[in-house]
C-alpha cells in the first residue's frame, strides 16, 4: 500500500468517526466495513468519499 493510499484510508476513517461519534459500537462496525471496502481500489475510495461525505477526490 502506498503512502497516499494509507493517508486517504486514514482520513476516511477520521472523518467518519467525527461525524458518527455518539455510539462506539456502531462506529466500530462501520469502520470495519469502510476499511474493508476502501482498501480495494482507488475508484472505490473515490466512490466512498463522494457517497459518505460529498467529497470528490481529484487524483493526478
Q: How many CB atoms lie within 10 A of CB 57?
A: 14
Domain spans in the chain, listed from the N-terminal domain onward? 3-53
Match 455518539 to its residue by C-alpha cell: 22
Report pLDDT for 1.
Answer: 61
- Tell me the three cell numbers of residue 54: 460529498
pTM score above 0.75: no
6 pLDDT band, cuts 50/70/90, is: confident
- Tell me the three cell numbers of residue 26: 456502531
| Phi-psi sector, 28: left (phi>0), alpha (psi -120 to 50), beta | alpha
Residue-wise pLDDT for 34-55, tens only, equals: 777 666 788 888 888 888 788 8
- Who has greater pLDDT, 20 or 15? 15
Report pLDDT for 31.
Answer: 74
Amino acid at each position: 500500500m502506498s503512502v497516499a493510499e494509507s493517508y486517504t484510508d486514514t482520513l476516511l476513517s477520521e472523518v467518519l468517526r467525527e461525524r458518527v461519534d455518539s455510539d462506539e459500537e456502531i462506529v466500530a462496525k462501520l469502520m470495519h466495513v469502510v476499511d474493508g471496502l476502501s482498501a480495494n481500489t482507488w475508484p472505490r475510495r473515490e466512490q466512498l468519499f463522494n457517497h459518505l461525505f460529498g467529497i470528490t477526490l481529484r487524483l493526478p
